[in-house]
Amino acid sequence: MEEGVGTLAHRVEELENELRKSRDENLLLEKRLHTIEDIYISTSSFGVAP
């Protein structure tokens, strides 16, 4: 039974690492989307007459 607990603990650690990595990737993607959005807004405002 000890070995099973060790295996489960290791698997939980792996899953936590995967979640952390996924969260980091999502935050990076969100940051990129905000940047694209900001660029779009700033460039599209140049073509609008007041």
H and E: helices and strands count for the chain: 1, 0
Q: To the nearest 5 percent, what fractions of the chain are helix, strand and coil?
A: 90, 0, 10
Query: Domain residue spans in the chain?
Result: 2-47
Average pLDDT of every residue of the chain: 88
Q: Residue 50 pLDDT > 70, yes or no?
A: no
**CA angle centred on 38, ends 21 and 30, rounded to 5°:** 15
> pLDDT tens for residues 26-47?
999 999 999 999 999 888 876 5
pLDDT of residue 5: 84
How many angstroms from the chain centroid is the CA of residue 43? 26
